[in-house]
Amino acid sequence: MKKILILCTGNSCRSQMAHGYLARFLIGEAEVYSAGVETHGVNPRAIKVMAEDGIDISHHTSNNVNEYLQIDFDLILTVCDNAKENCPYIPGKAKRIHHTFPDPAKAKGTEEEILNEFRKTRDLIKEYCNALAETI
């Protein structure tokens, strides 16, 4: 079974969404982990918009990448530039890929406007993860 690590800055939104989708798309084929170069807690808006699409990430935790340095990953996916630039060295044979997504946690406006930014990012991540899963 393949081991996949998804990294972003705070392991609160983008990596959590990607974790949810890849775990769904690769069920039985991969163990999916997510982490951040920092930990900010799982964003309640990320939980909400993922639930709207039938994915429950409410049980996820925000983890620091250093917790996973001993795992021999097959794939490491960074989903923001900050994580790509600040990720510690992770030994092993892992293929590394990078795709940056907008950070919905930086959205401003009414609650509905902010949720719409989360939905846009969610949909971009879903599309990307679906295509990625087909290549794994």
Q: Which of 80, 90, 129, 132 is catalytic?
A: 80
Q: Which of 5, 6, 8, 23 is catalytic?
A: 8
Residue 66 has phi, psi (to 5 degrees) of -65, -20
Residue 81 in tokens: 């530039």
Q: Which of 42, 57, 87, 115 is catalytic?
A: 87
The rounded distance, in Å, linking the Cα atoms of 27 and 55 is 13
87 is catalytic: yes
Q: In a 3-state reduction of DSSP, which class is residue 48? A: helix
Question: Residue 24, Cβ neighbours under 10 Å: how many?
Answer: 17
129 is catalytic: no
80 is catalytic: yes
Give the bridge partners for 2, in sequence order.
30
Residue 25 in tokens: 């798309």
The rounded distance, in Å, linking the Cα atoms of 136 and 125 is 16
Residues serving a catalytic function are: 8, 80, 87
